[in-house]
Amino acid sequence: MAKLYFRHGTVSSAKTLNLLAVAHNYRTQGKQVVLIKPALDDRFGSEMIRSRAGIEQAADIKVLADTQINRKEFQGVSCILVDEAQFLSAAVVEQLRDLAVDMNIPVICYGLRADFRTKLFEGAARLFELADSIEEIKTTCAFCNRKAVTNLKHLNGVATLSGPAIDLGAEEKYFPACYACYKEQHAATSLHKAA
């Protein structure tokens, strides 16, 4: 039986680069892969899945929170790869779970675990509940050499907890951070505001 996978990591942990490498490997073997992305992720254009390393592929399917997945689109598919899975609704994650089981197609979802406030995203929470396999894609903290476990958001060069949970950006706004540096950066912001 095929599995539902959740491969999570902080910002800048090469999740999308990993997804594109998996797609390349399947296609090199002559197998059909479907690439899915949430419609709201338009940082690199509405159609593209792009790694910060510059490698990109067009998405085959863009999904909205209320998307009803059409199973006919997956006939003959060897693997389904999902980028930015944290932005999926719980309902879409459940449909992907059913695809893996009912159609015997592995579904590999890549995404963040939590937002910059350390709160789980809806899609990530449901993936933690339903995935057969949960794997962490690791990277180091941008401020020290420990493992990054949080996504630190900066606004005007200082750490912030303000703004909506979904606030698209890249290296100009978000940094991978260990929890100690995450706390330190926010403490420095508090001191800066008090001065």
- Output the pLDDT for position 38: 86
- Output the pLDDT for position 44: 67
Please state, in angstroms and as integers, the Cα–Cα distance from residue 118 to each residue in 93, 147, 148, following that order: 21, 15, 12
- Output the pLDDT for position 41: 76
Pick one of 3.40.50.880, 1.10.3720.10, 3.40.50.300, 3.40.250.10 as the CATH number of 4-136.
3.40.50.300
Name the helix (H) or strand (E) containing 110.
Answer: strand 107-111
Question: How many residues are present in the chain?
Answer: 195
CA distance 141 to 130: 29
pTM: 0.92
Q: Is 172 marked active-site?
A: no
Query: pLDDT per position in the chain (195 positions), as tens?
Result: 899 999 999 999 999 999 999 999 999 999 999 999 988 776 766 777 878 777 778 888 787 778 888 899 999 999 999 999 999 999 999 999 999 999 999 999 999 999 999 999 999 999 999 999 999 999 999 999 999 999 999 988 889 998 878 776 666 789 999 999 999 999 987 655 554
CA distance 181 to 88: 29
User: Domain limits of the chain?
Assistant: 4-136, 150-194
Residues paired with residue 135 on neighbouring β-strands, in sequence order? 7
Please pick, among 56, 73, 84, 122, the residue that the annotation labels catalytic.
Answer: 84
